[in-house]
Structure 1
Amino acid sequence: MMTRRLVRSGVQLGLLVAVVFLLVFFLDNRYSVLPQAVHNRLPLHHEGLVITDITVQTCSSLNPISKCQLDQDVWHRVEKDLYLGSGWVSQAYVHIKRKKEEELTDEDKVIVDVRTGKLDPAMGDKSQASEKWEARPAGIWIKRSAKRHASDSKKSVTAVDILFGADAVEPRPGWELVPNGALRLETGGDNRDPRLSIRRGQPQKFEKPVPRIRKDGKFKIMQISDLHLSTGLGKCRDPEPKEVNGGHCDADPRTLEFVERVLDEEKPDLVVLSGDQVNGDTAPDVPSALFKIVAVLVERKIPYAAIFGNHDDEGVLTRHTQMQLYESLPYSLSEAGSNQIDGVGNYYVEILANGNNKHSAITLYFLDTHAYSPDEAKFKGYDWIKPNQIGWFKNAAESLKESHSRYTHTHLNMAFIHIPLPEYRDRNSPIVGTWKEAVTAPGFNTHFRDALVEENVKAVSCGHDHANDYCMLSKDLQTLEDQLWMCYAGGSGFGGYGGYNGYIRRLRVFEIDTNQARITTWKRLEHGDIAARLDEQIIVDSGRVVPPQVQEQQQ
């Protein structure tokens, strides 16, 4: 009897210990390997601080005694697991020591350079021969200066971040990827190619660009939708043609090569990123994915405005956090919009007239179409634009009418969304382009189409359905003044699906001629007749919607 009691007590104690261990394991971020704990916020970079040391702390995710957090009174942890949650046995975090400049003593050393690699950077490099490099874990080498005035130098490292992937890029002003590649980690997870990025000096200030009509009276918008970028090179889905590059296809490089070629040929004045810029399930580090398209635009000094799709926030960064990131980047016109209405990214952009004119020539409205249906039992599929968003749009449009009336030409309005409106399903409406797949619009109709017409918006364009690229004239209204062109951008990214009868990736261009109050649109292809303007059509002329047959007569 006594033996049985001892055994029972021992089992109960063992179960209690196991429960406590599991609670600690799953609730404490120091030990968690859940994806949500990988990186759920942007790194904090405080002004007035300089970095005095860097190290990497590795721990076992199976051992509750093994900690990945150094003394928090001394070290600040950069909240990105270097394995991005793929290390079922190991985790690793970069830690930095930092101080306020005014608190530095004569004994303090300030980091002025960082390298990665197996060998001392001074070896084999005569320019570094007289420099002393200090080794740190994971192949990090740091150069520190003991000179007190070094804290005031532009060489002093003031912030550290980690980006991932062999194709990682750094578009943030003042930031640079550390040379010589990825950190050297122990085995125990997928190779995510973590790379240090450092900033020297204080954050660089930049003003938002002011988009204006060109001297010739024209303004060109390129709509890029459904890029589906990943952390790392990404895997191609349904690539067409399949035989390109001997059948080998890395999704993101091929996508960006396509986008860059068309950017250089079309030279748009503005780019609209209309959702699903990143693939939530293949981008465990969203900035690493997002920075790829941003770097392409920043390099060319092209302003851009972004909205979200249903996949953007399926990873670990919320819409709010991603929009904070967009708002902090150069050439971005993106805004979170009012927090009093549903969604993130309800805003408008005014395109001003040429020269020093302060009058708006074009207004572009951007609305968040959310993601999946909040009432799947009744309305399957996707979410819908909410009544308070429509109210915001109508109030904004009405409030702008008086100022728009002072523009000497005809003021034009357009709108951009991600998920198509229910009216895109109308098989009886005339289309220009291809309709290859079912329209995955919301099942519940809040009649945003009608609000667009009431506020004199002439065209709305969406993404989401990759293999649809048509423009549809919504013709169930009474007069041409009451009609609306509803367009698709077409999918551009090889990280998203495209398997519809040899579908070639594409994107859409709108050219607005303010002298004629005309909007012309066409598409560009990734392969085939790449120089052609596919399905070029005038959709608005003299400020009025043009049906397809009228456009054909004019040509």
Structure 2
Amino acid sequence: MTRRIVRTGVQLGLLASIVFLLVFFLDNRYRVLPQSIHSHLPLHHEGLVITDITVQTCSTLNPISKCKLDQDKWHRVEKDLYLGTGWVSKAYVHIKRKKEEELTDEDKVIIDVRTGKMDPAMNEKSQASEKWESRPAGVWIKRSAKRHTSDSRKAVTAVDVLFGSDAADPRPGWELVQNGALRLDTGGDNKEPRLTIRRGQPHKIEKPVPRIRKDGKFKILQVSDLHLSTGLGTCRDPEPKEHNGGHCDADIRTLEFVERVLDDEKPDLVVLSGDQVNGDTAPDVQTAIFKIVDALAERKIPYAAIFGNHDDEGTLSRSAQMSLYESLPYSLCDAGPNTIEGVGNYYVEILAHGANKHSAITLYFLDTHSYSPDEAHFKGYDWIKPKQITWFKDTAERLKESHAHYTHTHLNMAFIHIPLPEYGIKENEYVGTWKERVTAPGFNTHFKDALVEQGIKAVSCGHDHVNDYCMLSKDPKSGEGELWMCYAGGSGFGGYGGYEGYHRRLRVFEIDTNQARISTWKRLEYGDTGSRLDEQVIVDSGKVLPPQSQ
């Protein structure tokens, strides 16, 4: 009998171990991804409608106080409304949702959301059949008991949170809730939380197809080092200091500058060449990214983005940010192959005018990473890796056959964030401003040689805010020009810029496919804002030209 009991005990123990391992496996197999990965994604699914919203606050000092409601009924938007700055409190938006086909006649569906101290009905001229219902943090919801409302465009189907009075939402079908921020004491740091809602089902986002204009031209505006924040941002080195009475909100001034140039130049494509986000001042990266994308989407301008060394110093990884970019309207962004280092190694084909399917221009985008992985031997910044160079060369070789069918001269350009070591060769001729040390990698993988080998006529970077020159690299044997290496210059007031009255700027490239010509110039934020600074033809008839006398 004793042996039987022991044997049974052992069997039960083994069974318990198996059950434990199975539960452990399933728990990890289907574990929710970390907040840093998915916090940019709103809580919504196709076919679901929102039936209630609330805000749950908890104390960080009280271990019993929890910021999660019954998870069988409520779903939490994974953004602390205090952005981690609350001394004693955290707060989260929670939503109730239900599948449309499961709605009963008793269910109510949210058809409108407002925020504020007073009942929104007080400002409405006519009396609606549905009444406004109060929720914590100044949230007001209007719900309809009519089931058919869920199929209309009025039904709220997704809820998200953005931050700051300058928040914008570029996603089709989404809108920021009227009357401003949630009523929470966030300390007046200009990062107050705001609700944004979507009505109806998700809009299908299709990538635009960039084409040469009827006149044979194509214009690219390179926007680098925006250094956008969550909230208004703090200005660094504004010039002139007395502008606007000395008052400067970084993101507002930056975006006003960018939008003015967008409207003046009317580019066919915008290249965001890194450090769009100022990582240490953007506790909600999504809010920062949305601000520049909203300006582009409003004007229906396609854009391509790469990362700088500051973009992923906030709450979202490079992969999560690229996933976000890929989901937004007018985006040409691509994570690129996952078999090589970096996120955002890709290319964009600019097609010939009309219905022509031939590529007229190829633009290559590469991730230059962040900081040196070997600081002891190579201080400063990281470098483009050999696998990336191999990918670039293989891709360029593969595309040559199709490019040969284009009736004009096919042109190639490349964009990176951190400059190549060759940018620092002082013996080379250059046009523009060289005010600071070139902070290129200490280790040279000779990507410049690969660019020349594959017929790239110009490469342009960001990173060094107050360098804005274009430098000519020459063939050491013939002495002829082989590649132009350009800087965009810094555009954002959230990043440094204080070198002898330096004004923020943007770089423009205009490609004339009829002449196989590339021209470039810069636009200033202050001063002679309407002029083309340092305008140069850098490529003509498909050949790299030397600097022209001014």
Q: What is the root-mean-square deviation in Å for CA atoms of aligned residues? A: 1.6
CA deviation map 1:195-250 (0-9, x unaligned): 00000010011321100001110000000000000111101000001111001100
Match of 2:421 in 1: 422
Match of 2:540 in 1: 541
Mapped to 2, the partners of 1:480 and 1:148 lie a distance apart of 76
CA deviation map 1:419-460 (0-9, x unaligned): 000000100000000100000000000000000000000100
- Secondary structure of 1:502's counterpart equals coil
- Percent of aligned pairs with the same amino acid: 82
Q: 1:156 to 1:478 in 2, by over 3 A?
A: same
Instruction: Please say if residues 365 and 416 of structure 2, whose CA atoms lie closer than 8 Å, have aligned partners that are also in contact.
Output: yes
Mapped to 1, the partners of 2:451 and 2:481 lie a distance apart of 10
- Secondary structure of 1:123's counterpart equals helix
1:64 is the counterpart of 2:63 = yes
Q: Supply the AA of the counterpart residue of 2:87.
A: W
1:101 is the counterpart of 2:100 = yes
Query: In the TM superposition, what are the counterparts of 1:31-110 in structure 2 within 5 Å?
Result: 40-110=39-109
Q: Supply the AA of the counterpart residue of 2:416.
A: I
Gaps of 5+ in 1: 1-34
Mapped to 1, the partners of 2:371 and 2:148 lie a distance apart of 55
Match of 1:385 in 2: 384
Mapped to 1, the partners of 2:222 and 2:377 lie a distance apart of 33
Instruction: Please say if residues 351 and 361 of structure 1, whose CA atoms lie closer than 8 Å, have aligned partners that are also in contact.
Output: yes
Mapped to 2, the partners of 1:130 and 1:75 lie a distance apart of 27
Once the two structures are TM-superposed, the CA of residue 188 in structure 1 deviates from its matched residue by: 6.8
Match of 1:7 in 2: none
Match of 2:14 in 1: none
Match of 1:19 in 2: none
Instruction: Please say if residues 133 and 143 of structure 1, whose CA atoms lie closer than 8 Å, have aligned partners that are also in contact.
Output: yes
Instruction: Please say if residues 174 and 197 of structure 2, whose CA atoms lie closer than 8 Å, have aligned partners that are also in contact.
Output: yes
1:156 is the counterpart of 2:155 = yes
Mapped to 2, the partners of 1:298 and 1:478 lie a distance apart of 47
1:349 is the counterpart of 2:364 = no
Q: Supply the AA of the counterpart residue of 1:116.
A: T
Match of 2:249 in 1: 250
Once the two structures are TM-superposed, the CA of residue 38 in structure 1 deviates from its matched residue by: 11
Once the two structures are TM-superposed, the CA of residue 131 in structure 1 deviates from its matched residue by: 3.6
Match of 2:516 in 1: 517
TM-score by length of 1: 0.91
- Secondary structure of 1:320's counterpart equals helix
Once the two structures are TM-superposed, the CA of residue 490 in structure 1 deviates from its matched residue by: 0.2
Match of 1:30 in 2: none
Q: Supply the AA of the counterpart residue of 1:279.
A: N
Q: 1:36 to 1:101 in 2, by over 3 A?
A: closer
Mapped to 1, the partners of 2:44 and 2:186 lie a distance apart of 30
Q: 1:44 to 1:477 in 2, by over 3 A?
A: farther
Instruction: Please say if residues 474 and 480 of structure 2, whose CA atoms lie closer than 8 Å, have aligned partners that are also in contact.
Output: no
Mapped to 2, the partners of 1:468 and 1:456 lie a distance apart of 25
TM-score by length of 2: 0.92
Mapped to 2, the partners of 1:502 and 1:67 lie a distance apart of 52
Q: Supply the AA of the counterpart residue of 1:488.
A: Y
CA deviation map 1:302-352 (0-9, x unaligned): 000000000000001000000011000000000000011100000000000
CA deviation map 1:497-551 (0-9, x unaligned): 0011111000100000001100000000001111110000011000000011xx3
Once the two structures are TM-superposed, the CA of residue 294 in structure 1 deviates from its matched residue by: 0.5
Mapped to 1, the partners of 2:243 and 2:458 lie a distance apart of 35
Instruction: Please say if residues 518 and 541 of structure 1, whose CA atoms lie closer than 8 Å, have aligned partners that are also in contact.
Output: yes
1:137 is the counterpart of 2:136 = yes
Q: Supply the AA of the counterpart residue of 1:394.
A: K
Match of 1:238 in 2: 237
Mapped to 2, the partners of 1:66 and 1:276 lie a distance apart of 38
Once the two structures are TM-superposed, the CA of residue 106 in structure 1 deviates from its matched residue by: 1.3
Instruction: Please say if residues 205 and 327 of structure 2, whose CA atoms lie closer than 8 Å, have aligned partners that are also in contact.
Output: no
Once the two structures are TM-superposed, the CA of residue 474 in structure 1 deviates from its matched residue by: 1.1
1:167 is the counterpart of 2:163 = no
Instruction: Please say if residues 173 and 200 of structure 2, whose CA atoms lie closer than 8 Å, have aligned partners that are also in contact.
Output: yes
